């Protein structure tokens, strides 16, 4: 049911090509939005976990160079994978949708539809409070903003790779000894 809702949302959001996150990932992942909790007694096996940045998530909706790679990444994680993002990621994505609408590249209605489809994505949304001290330290040591550093701090905390197309973010994460993939390199592995 969730996959059908997501697929319909993506179609309403201009994704008539039929791409959708499959039911395996939909059923396995958890939305960490206010008022939504994991169903009691429902466990899941996470075979692979990644942290993705807002650029990867928005490329699912906004056509660009990373669109097909982002779709491939989500497809590859269908069978028990988990995509984690820091709590502010949805706001970053919504702002990207707003910029598209204000620049005339999308309609306000399109931006709203993208937002609805974004909220339907099976993302593990992690609160940022506990990540802030590490993100600040990372930002200071790598001359990186706290917002992008939160993606590194989250991947570090979860012990998983970071997927980003942002070269500065990737470089900072790699210098911390983290595994980093671009959307294309993750899709091609």
pLDDT in tens, 24-74: 233 223 333 333 333 333 334 556 899 999 999 999 999 887 888 888 888
Q: What percent of the chain has pLDDT over 70?
A: 75
Chain-wide mean pLDDT for the chain?
80
* 157 pLDDT above the threshold of 70: yes
158: CATH: 3.40.50.1010
**Is 136 a residue whose pLDDT tops 70?**
yes
Q: Tell whether 36 is covered by a domain.
A: no
Is residue 150 within 8 A of residue 86, CB to CB? The reply is yes
More confident residue, 74 or 99: 99
Closest CA to 81 of 113, 37, 50, 127: 50
Record the tokens describing residue 21, joined without a space.
Answer: 């996150």
Q: Indicate whether 151 belongs to any domain.
A: yes
Q: pTM value?
A: 0.77
Determine the Cα–Cα distance for residues 155 and 52; give it in Å rounded to an integer. 9
Arithmetic mean of pLDDT, 112-126: 95
Residue 175 belongs to a domain: yes
Instruction: Kindly state the tokens that stand for 45.
Output: 């096996």
- Higher pLDDT among residues 186 and 46, named by residue: 186
Proportion of the chain above pLDDT 90, given as a percent: 60
In the prediction, which pLDDT does 40 show?
A: 33
The answer to whether position 39 is within a domain reads no
* pLDDT interval class at 163 (50, 70, 90): very high
**Within a domain: residue 40?**
no
Q: Average of pLDDT values for 116-134?
A: 96
Q: Which domain holds residue 67?
A: 2-31+47-187
d(CA 129, CA 113): 29
The answer to whether position 6 is within a domain reads: yes
Domain count, the chain: 1
Torsion of CA 135, 139, 144, 150, to 10 degrees: 0
User: Does residue 105 fall inside a structural domain?
Assistant: yes
Question: Is position 37 within any domain?
Answer: no
Is 55 in contact with 166 (CB distance < 8 Å)?
Answer: yes
pLDDT, residue 123, reads 93
- DSSP secondary structure, the chain, as one string: -HHHHHHHHHHHTT-TT-----HHHHHH-----TT--PPTT-----SEEEEE-HHHHHTTTS-STTHHHHHHHHHHTTTTEEEEEETTHHHHHHHHHHHHHHTTSS-HHHHHHHHHHHHHS-EEEE-SGGGHHHHHHHHHHHT--HHHHHHHHHHHHHT--EE-S-HHHHHHHHHTT--EE-HHHHHT-
């Amino acid at each position: 049911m969730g996959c059908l809702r997501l697929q319909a949302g993506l179609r309403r959001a201009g994704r008539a090509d039929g791409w959708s996150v499959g039911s395996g990932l939909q059923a396995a992942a958890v939305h960490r939005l206010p008022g939504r909790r994991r169903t009691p007694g429902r466990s899941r096996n996470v075979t692979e976990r990644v942290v993705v940045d807002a650029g990867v998530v928005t490329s699912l909706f906004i056509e660009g160079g990373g669109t097909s790679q982002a779709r491939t990444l989500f497809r590859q994680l269908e069978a028990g994978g988990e995509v984690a993002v820091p709590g502010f990621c949805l706001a970053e994505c919504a702002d990207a949708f707003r910029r598209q609408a204000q620049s005339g590249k999308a309609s306000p209605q399109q931006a709203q539809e993208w937002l609805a489809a974004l909220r339907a994505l099976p993302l593990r949304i992690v609160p940022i409070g506990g990540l802030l001290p590490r993100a600040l330290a990372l930002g200071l040591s790598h001359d990186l903003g706290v917002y992008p550093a939160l993606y590194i701090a989250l991947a570090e905390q979860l012990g998983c790779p970071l997927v980003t197309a942002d070269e500065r973010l990737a470089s900072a994460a790699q210098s911390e000894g983290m595994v980093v993939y671009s959307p294309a390199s993750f899709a091609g592995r």
